[in-house]
Structures are given as C-alpha cells and as structure tokens.
Structure 1
Amino acid sequence: MTGPRVIPTWRHGRERLYVRLPDGRNIAWYDREASRVNLLREDHRDEVLHALGPFLTGQVTVGPPPVPTPAELARLSLHPDDDLAPNRPGEALLVDLDRDPGPAHLLRPDPRRRALEAEQTVGEALDRLDGAGWHALHSVPLPGGDRIHHLVIGPGGLFAVHALYARRQRVTVADPLVTLGRRDSRPLLRRVRADADRASYALTAEVRPVLALVGASEVALPAPPREVRVLTEQALPELARLGGVLKPADVEALHATARDRNTWTRV
C-alpha cells in the first residue's frame, strides 16, 4: 500500500481513527464523538479525506487540532499518581478492605462495607450528572487521614457530599446532631461543614456542604440545618437543575485544580 491507511484506536474510552502514512507517521485523526477530523498536515488534506471517506458520517469539521485550554494543559501535565479523577466511589474503603477484609464469621456486618455501599450509591448517582456539565471526584484525600467522600463541580457551583448509610432507618437531623433510628446522636453536620470549608480553602472558591442519606425509611428535619443541604440518594439529581453560578470554562478550571492531589496537601 502506497497511500495513507486508517488505524482504529481507543483513547480514554473514545474511538479515534488515525490516518497514517506508509512510513508510520500520523497525519490526522478522526474523532467520531466530536465529528471532527484533526489534520496534522494540511498538505495531506485530500488524501486524509479520501482515506476516511468510508468512515465519515453526517456533518464533519475538518481542520487543525483545537488549541488546548489552560485546564486541559494542566490535566495533560498531571502525573498519573497525582490524578484523583480515576478514583472510584469509595476508593479509600475499597483499598482498606482489600488490605484487610476482616473476619468472615462476624455476627454483624463490617461497618466499612455499609459505608462503602453508601459511597458507591451516592457516587454512581453523581457520576450520572456528567452529561449535564458536572464533574464528580471521589475519595478526595485530606491531611490527617480525613477525606471528602465526593466533590461535585458544575454549573450550580461546588458541593462537598458526605454519604451516610441509613438503610431502613429513620433519620433525624437536628443541627448539628444526626440520629439514626435508636442510636446515639452524633454531631455529624460539623464534619460535613468542616469538609466543605477545607475544600473552599484549597480551591479558593465557595464549596457548599451536602449530607446524602442512603436508604433512609424516613427523614425528619425539625428545622432547616445551617448551610447544609440534606438529600436522599433519589434527590441527588436535583443538583443538576442548579445553575447560574459557574461558566463552563470555570467548571473545567476548578475540576483541573481539584483533581490534582497536591491541591489538598495543606488544608
């Protein structure tokens, strides 16, 4: 073969069709999802379009690759070990359970597994907001062994979300106390607000606290808690309806900052 050939590849879960010269040099790639042909060599434009002809569908933009934004440059320069974006919901608990699964004969379930179920349920709900212009980070590490369960960034602002397992229990929230069923009350809202304050300091932007209740049979709020939004897992999509706070460029810039582990080392 003397002309360019098309090589299909997958990058970050997206299909790309690279156009390569016989000597192995790439001269273009076609991003199906973006409907864009990115030319690395303008003088090979006709050859590229001829090679890609059988693969092109609908309206396609043809031109040089777009100039990366500052947020994209920051992401590209981030070392993989410092990138928090790949973290799974409950990442810290998954690692802990992998290292120490605990005895299998306990009469009561390991509380870590219940906490993991809560974080996974909430994390999956937040990840589904991605199509509405939101980004979710999970298990954001803080100094001292603390962590933010979930950080959500989108058009409606920034939220630090704390997931609480409450399966089949009545939850009473009387600021700052949270009571599950007949258990002793805990001043959990102080922790939720503290997480948001630390995130605000790290990102130099307002981060609002959210308590997400997973599986609660009933939620009692004698009075609205100060600053904290209390939601069940079914109500988390309400966040996607919030807007008017951040522009898309601001969302991307804050996400690029937040996903860097080094951002959180001094809060």
Structure 2
Amino acid sequence: MSPSPQRTPHAAHPDLQADCGSCFGLCCVALPFARSADFAADKAAGTPCGNLREDFGCGIHDRLRERGYAGCTVFDCFGAGQKVSQVTFGGRSWRTEPGSARTMYEVFPVVRQLHELLRYAAEALDLPAAKAVHRELREACAQIDALTRESAETLLAVDVPALRAEVNAHLLRAGELARAAVPGRKKNHRGADLLGARLRGAKLRGATLRGACLIAADLSGADLRQADLIGADLRDTNLCGADLTGALFLTQPQLNAARGDAATRIPAGLRRPGHWAA
C-alpha cells in the first residue's frame, strides 16, 4: 500500500501564527490560571504572570515545563495576540495606556476564537476533496477576517457561538468529504468519552474523533491517518508510534498536550514537541 500523501502545510499564513514579539503578552495577562499540574501558581484574569518581563517576553520560556508551567506550552492564540495588539489597539499597550487594559483583555479571547475558526477554515480550503464547500469557506474566511479588523466595541458585540456554529457546519462537511476518500468503513467516535481508553494499535484511519475525550488514552501505534481530530482532547494521550499523517484539523496545542516519540508520524506543517521521547 502506498503511503498517504502529505498535504502542503496548512494554515501557514503569518496572520494565523503566533508572533509573540508583536504582542503585549496578552495570554500572560488576560487569561486566568489556577495552581495545578499545569501551573505552578494561581493567577487572576487581568493580572500579569510573575514570569512576564518588561519587554512582554516570558522569563522562563525555555523552561516552562520544568518550572511547572506545562499549561503555557499547550496554548496557541493562532495569531490573535498580535492582531489585538497591533491592529485593534494600534500598537498601544496596556502598560502605556492602562485605561484600555480591561477592554483589551476582553477583546483578546474573542479574536482568539475568530482566529481559531480561520485556522480550521484555512486547512479545509487545502483539502481538494472538500471542493464542494470551498466557496462557503472562502466567504466565511472573508467575513471573519473583516471582523477581526473591526473596533473593540464591534468585536465585543460579535455572537461568537452563532458564528462558530455556522462555520462548523462547513468544517463538518469538509471533514466528511475528505474522509470519504478513505477506503473501508470509518469509525464514528464523535464526542466519545475515551478517557484512559486502551486503543493501542487501533485502526482509526478516516475515523471521526471530533470533540472526543482522549485524556490519558493509549493510542500508541494507532493508525490515525485522515482522522478528524477537531476539538479532540489529547492531554497526556500516548501517541508513541502512531501515524497521524494527513490527520484533519489537528493543531499544535493538541500535539503539545500529548505524548509521542521519534516514531510518531505527524502532519506536514506541525512541529514535533520538544518534550516528546527521542
């Protein structure tokens, strides 16, 4: 059997990639976190993390996991940070204009959700099999991109759940069309509770695992080629030796949350996490 073709790296546009150097450390300030296995301390929303430097960089960026901040390594704003910092607020930071801080913190998660939708839509537009919904996806991308460039007041009034539901219908169809090209019967685990499930070597090619809970599941050696993984929770999932070639809607944060090794095959455009086994 010939190997599944690698797609051109999807969602590679700079606007959809985090550029921390052009952001005012928004994820380190706007978002809250609680002391846990993922964070070494408590932090309230709107309070700068104790590791945030004056230049908005992270003082322990290269040592986040060893210092107890693994949760930071699995977060991705999909480019929303620099969009809010440089476009919405025109390069004026919450430090230089503290009066804008609260609004900036409220806008950031809205734009982050919009950029996440753009990232998924961009990938769907790279799927030749999903050509039937490309027009709708392009229209959605244009609408969402225009929204991300609106004023803070307009952004705060966006009905994100309604917009997400509209775009998700197109993404669902795109995933179905892409998976239809996979031979054989495809398994349906959409939204399934597979917490700690033993799925070593499972044949899941072309399966749908949309929104599935796979926390601490054993998927070592599993065949996940062309599987739809949008929204799947892969925290501490064992992906050692698994084949994720061509997996649909898989994101870097999902990979960062999982465990893998040198034998794990990942889609083009994604990076092998540094904490994975050699």
- TM-score bin, normalised by smaller chain: under 0.3
TM-score (norm 2): 0.25
TM-score (norm 1): 0.26
